[in-house]
Structure 1
Amino acid sequence: MTRTCFRGVRAVLFDLDGTLIDSAPDLGSAVDTMRVRRGLDPLPLEHYRPFTGSGARGMLRAAFDISPEHGEYEALKNEFFDVYAGCLTQRTQAFDGVTHLLASLVGQHMPWGVVTNKAERFTLPITRSMKLFATASVVICGDTTAYAKPHPEPLLEAASRLGLAPGDCIYVGDDQRDILAGRAAGMRTVAAHYGYLGPGADASTWGADAEVSSPLQVLNLLELP
């Protein structure tokens, strides 16, 4: 963990997949179902996990070695969305330590929220089905604003809904887009090394203000009583 202490923090914002929740089992299961439908051998979860942070693009790359430029990509993406919508709360769980982290923030009257690129169609069923999100002060989805991360607008919208200046918030995420968005929004940023990161990713090069290897280390970055 980076030895940094943030002063004057009034809210903590988090990415969702790979930062608060481990959704890889459901995402991997959805795209693997598509492989089996086509007579292909199933692949283990660990094959899919590094690609999870890239959403449909990453899952389809992992399962079919296909990119958005491929002529069949859009059809496969829509099929993936439909399959995933039917299983998105079956295996998804909070990472170890997240429940304690969020309870500690609430106990210190520190507002927290979610800013994710995941569409509302998927985000809201997950956050409504998991008790830990009941205390979230704001949830911004990938289609809440006109832009998604790495654009800063979703983070600026979250700060606005909290009634805070962006500089009063820190943003925690496991993807370079999270750090780019946070910095562009004027927030201090934390790279979550325990997340999905992506193949070949080196989070130490992202320019985050701090880095953590477990959710609970976020508490050590805050000047809480």
Structure 2
Amino acid sequence: MSLRCWTDRSAVLFDFDGTLADTAADLCAAANALRVEEGLAPLPLAQFRPWVSRGGKAMLDIAFAHRDEAFRGALLPAFLARYEADCARHTRLFDGMEALLRALEAQGTPWGIVTNKPIHLARPVVEALGLSQRCAVLLGGDSLPRKKPDPLQLVTACDGLGIEPSQAIYVGDDLRDVEAAHACDMPCIVAGWGYIPTGQDAADWGGELLLDDPRQLQAALGLERFAAA
């Protein structure tokens, strides 16, 4: 896919965990609460962080690596319930993201969230961050029959905005984000600041841009003149 003109986009869509918001600490707390119940010491956040974008199952694989898959699978509902009960205590937008969203809004460019996080877990966190009335679209992993890397969520988001997928940009921190975007002819910026799985090199995913810091997005999207808006 050829390099696009980043400054002429009709909308910007974001993955959530590891891209727009740093949710790792609250997810880690839920996993560690289950470890403590099993008589185990909490694990450091750094051990969980690379796997957050892969969901609850991946986090339990880390938290209970010494137990079998059946044991971990049985714990998933308890993990999700723990997280849902206290899902926004430590979660924050990544540094620079609030300024970026304000710049997009000042320019009149709609933005939205397309995540594989179940919608009943995504919605309260988005609300706690004060984004519910600002984002033009919010789709979770169970909002539709298929989720990323299938492009259906991105196509549906664009349909709701009245644009073609090629007119938008997607920003995400996982290979499946790039795959979903490219499957519907949407360029993808890779969020190198996010939860990149251990052993993977995000430079190999084929995104149009790989950025190390969310504050670089303003320049990449040509929004510097709206930075103080």
- TM above 0.5: yes
- Share of identical aligned residues, percent? 38
Residue 97 (str. 1) matches residue 96 (str. 2) = yes
User: Matches of 1:145 and 1:66 in 2, distance apart?
Assistant: 34
TM-score by length of 2: 0.92
Q: Which residue of 2 aligns with 1:83?
A: 82
Q: Which residue of 2 aligns with 1:141?
A: 140
**Structure 1 residue runs of 4+, over 3 Å off?**
none
Q: Which residue of 2 aligns with 1:48?
A: 48
Contact 2:24 2:91 in 1 (8 A): yes
User: Matches of 2:63 and 2:218 in 1, distance apart?
Assistant: 37
Q: Which residue of 2 aligns with 1:161?
A: 160
User: Matches of 2:167 and 2:175 in 1, distance apart?
Assistant: 21
CA spacing shift, 1:66–1:108, aligned 2, 3 Å: farther
**Over residues 101-147 of structure 1, what are the superposed CA-to-partner deviations in whole Å (9 max), with x where a residue is unaligned?**
10000001011000000001100111111124431111111111110
Contact 2:24 2:45 in 1 (8 A): yes
The alignment partner of 2:55 has SS state of helix
User: Matches of 1:55 and 1:71 in 2, distance apart?
Assistant: 17
Counterpart AA for 2:41: D
User: Matches of 2:94 and 2:58 in 1, distance apart?
Assistant: 21
Contact 1:4 1:210 in 2 (8 A): no
**Over residues 192-225 of structure 1, what are the superposed CA-to-partner deviations in whole Å (9 max), with x where a residue is unaligned?**
0000111111000000011111112122222456
TM-score by length of 1: 0.93
Aligned pairs (5 A) from 1:62-73: 62-65=62-65, 70-73=69-72
Shift of 1:53: 1.2
User: Matches of 2:99 and 2:7 in 1, distance apart?
Assistant: 22
Task: Give the gaps of 5 or more residues in structure 1.
Answer: none
Residue 6 (str. 1) matches residue 11 (str. 2) = no
Contact 2:61 2:72 in 1 (8 A): no
Q: Which residue of 1 aligns with 2:175?
A: 176
- CA RMSD in angstroms comes to 1.7
User: Matches of 2:182 and 2:199 in 1, distance apart?
Assistant: 22
Q: Which residue of 2 aligns with 1:25?
A: 25
The alignment partner of 1:46 has SS state of helix
Contact 1:102 1:132 in 2 (8 A): no
Contact 1:66 1:73 in 2 (8 A): no
Counterpart AA for 2:98: T
Shift of 1:58: 1.7
The alignment partner of 1:142 has SS state of coil
User: Matches of 1:134 and 1:20 in 2, distance apart?
Assistant: 16
Contact 1:5 1:221 in 2 (8 A): no
Counterpart AA for 1:165: E
Residue 152 (str. 1) matches residue 129 (str. 2) = no
